[in-house]
Amino acid sequence: MNVLVVNAGSSSLKLRVLGEDDTVLAEHHAERWTGETGPLEDFLSTAPPVHAVGHRVVHGGAAFTSATAIDDDTRTRIEALTALAPLHQPRALAGIDAVTRLLPGVPQVACFDTSFHTTMPAAAATYALPSSWRRRWDLRRHGFHGLSHGYASRRATELAGRPGARVVSCHLGSGASLAAVANGRSVDTTMGFTPLAGLVMATRSGDVDPGLLVWLQRAGLSLDDLEDGLEHHSGLAGLSETGGDLRDVREAAESGDERAVLALQVHGHHLRQGIAAMTASLGGIDLLVFTGGAGEHDPVLRAETVAGLAFLGLELDPGRNAEVSGDTRVSTSPTEVWVIEAREDVEIAAQTRELLNHRVRPAPQPCAPGR
C-alpha cells in the first residue's frame, strides 16, 4: 500500500509517498504554503499511485485518541478544535479538502499529535483549576508533537538496544516540546491544552505566568492582540527582534547583538529546565534524544544543552556531535544522547495502514513514572 503523507505545518507543506517498506517514492517540501491546491496537484501529477492518505493533525482534543478515518463528521469535529491550535488546524483542514478534491474515493486518515500523550497519568494531565471549569470544557493537558516523539523515542530505544528505557525526547524546531517516555508511553510533556505552552519557541512564548496575562487584559490589551502577540511575536522573535529563526538569532548573537544573546540564554535556560523536569517525571533518564530541525542540525544547541546537564550523567563526544549524519549516538556517557532524524511520515503511514488494515491496537494505558 502506497501512502501519501500530508504534513501541513503552520506555514509549510511536506508531502511524501511511502511504499510498503517505508521507502520514499516521491517527496516535495514547500516552505511557504497558504492552503492552495496547486502544490498538491503538481506533486500528484508525477507521483506514483496513491492507495491511501495519512494527514498530520495537530489537535485531536479529547475526542480523538487514535488515528481516525476521515469523513464529513470527522472533518467537522477537527474544525471545531481550530481555536485550540489556530496556527495549524486550518492548514490540516486545507490539506484534507485539497486531497478530497484531487483524489476522490481514496481513503484518508487523520493522525493526531495529541494521541500519543493520552497515556499520561492524571497527575501530569490535570490542571489545578476549579472542577466545574474542567468538567464544562474538558480542560486538561493534551501535549503535542506526539507523532515525532513517538517515532524518535522508539527509534532511539531500538538503536540503543534498550526497549524499556526512560527517554526524554526533545523535538526542537520553530515549534518545540519535550516528552518523558517510559516503556514507549508518554508520561509527561511540556505542552498543554494548546501548542502555546512549554518551551520558548520561534514566535511562541511558551510558559507565561497566567496572572501576567490577566494583568495585560486589565491594562487594556485586547484578546485578539494578546493572542497575536503570544503566538506570532513572542519567543525568540520577541526577545531578539528578529524573525525568530534560531540560526538568525545565533548569527546575530555572534555579531554582538545583546538582544540575541539574551534570547539564546532564555531559550537555553528553559530547555535545560524542561529536560530536568521530564527526567524527574521519569524517575531518571537512560536516553536523551534530539530531533526536529534545530535538534538535528544545531550542534552548538546540543553541546550547550548537554553541558548544562552534566549532573544527569550526560557527556557528548565533540567529534560525533559536530558531524552528525542520520541517526547517530553523540555521547560517551552511559546515559546515551542520540540525534534521530524526524520521521513523522513513517509514523503517520504506519497508523494509516494499521487502521485501514483493520488491525486493532490495544488501548494505551497510563503507566507509572520509571516503569
Catalytic residues: 113
In angstroms, the CA 196 to CA 205 distance is: 7
What per-residue string of b and e applies to 82-104 under the rule 16 or more CB within 10 Å gives b? Answer: eebbbbbbbbbbbbbebbbebbe
What's the distance, CA 72 to chain centroid? 26
Bridge partners of residue 182, in order along the sequence: 166, 185
Describe the strand order of the beta sheet including 68-69 as a list of residue ranges: 24-30, 13-18, 3-8, 52-57, 108-112, 68-69
Residue 158, number of CB atoms within 10 A of its CB: 11
* Contact present, 165 and 287 (Cβ < 8 Å): yes
Q: What DSSP string describes 234-247?
A: -HHHHHHSS---HH
H or E stretch at 42: helix 38-46
